[in-house]
Amino acid sequence: MASKLLLLGLLINLLIVKDVESAVGVCYGRNGDNLPSERDVVSLYQRNGITKIRLYDPPFQATLNALKGTNIEVMIGVRNDQLQSFNDPNVANTWVRDNIQRYPDVRFKYIAVGNEVDPNNENSQYVRFVLPAMRNVLNAVKNAGLGNRIKVSTATYSGLLGTSYPPSHGAFRDNVRGFIEPIVRFLAQNNQPMLANIYPYFSDPGRNLPYALFTAPGTVVNDDNGRKYSNLFDAILDAHYAAQARFGGANVEIVVSETGWPSSGGPVATTQNARTYTRNLIAHVRGGTPMKPGRPIETYLFAMFDENKKGGNEEEKHFGLFFPNQQPKYGQLSFS
């Protein structure tokens, strides 16, 4: 009996380790020159043991064809400028048919309906379209018989937070409540996750760089509930959990749909810092946060390649993990 129990324990541990080791995926942005073909990109994911991919912009056909039979989990996106049209259920049904049902050999996991829509930023024009589009996409997924396989959400970000310190006091800005509260309640009612882009780099990391890079020697923030924080990533993520709990979302899981560190373009945007953040992040998300300990944090690193054609500040162009020639920027990373 003892030997059987020992064997069972070993098998359970193996399953847990397998789940933990597959916690990290990589976003596939294509806004750059001289990038490899979609088929070569998918092969690069496979060679490096990357088992999750986030796709942003259509056309998706070449990438989805390359993903057939690979068992790579896919997060696929509806662009912000498509959201208004998705308020028509027929548009959502057609999109699901063309981009999901036509690829039965692709392992779809999430649909991100919009990205970083915020009443306070340049995406404010899309605010009123997000929730109706989410509802229509979820209904389309269920109508296709895929409701048990594919989750529907939207990708939010820490810019919606008005309070994040200490993490247990996390709260959304007052003027985004009308936007985000119905979304949180919709996710809770339908057992769907929240997607959140979490970037310590954009939270003034120069004030305490080790805290942002997972290299602080000990506790940096003592929350008033006794939780201790030694890195900024956990603090931001738990502030998101606290904020959505105020709107009935305490049990809504958060998937980190983007995180990363640029290698150029700013005072702390260096190759060394980006390497340190990336390696430590991959190791860290296997173990949870102080608020949600003991379970992997499903996380997508941004991004596979630098994107020199991207707009915005210079640092936005330098988040890639690989060069266009498919060589790793930071050496071999252990994704699996």
Which tens digits make up the pLDDT trace of 266-313? 999 999 999 999 999 999 999 999 999 999 999 999 999 999 999 999
Which tens digits make up the pLDDT trace of 26-70? 999 999 999 999 999 999 999 999 999 999 999 999 999 999 999
- Give the strand pairing for 221-222 and 228-229: antiparallel
Identified catalytic residue from 73, 116, 253, 298: 116
User: Residue 177 pLDDT > 50, yes or no?
Assistant: yes
Helix axes 89-96, 127-143, angle to 10 degrees: 50
Identified catalytic residue from 38, 73, 253, 258: 258
- pLDDT for the residue 10: 39
- 258 is annotated as an active-site residue: yes
Computed over every residue of the chain, the mean pLDDT equals 93
Which tens digits make up the pLDDT trace of 5-34? 334 343 444 344 444 445 899 999 999 999
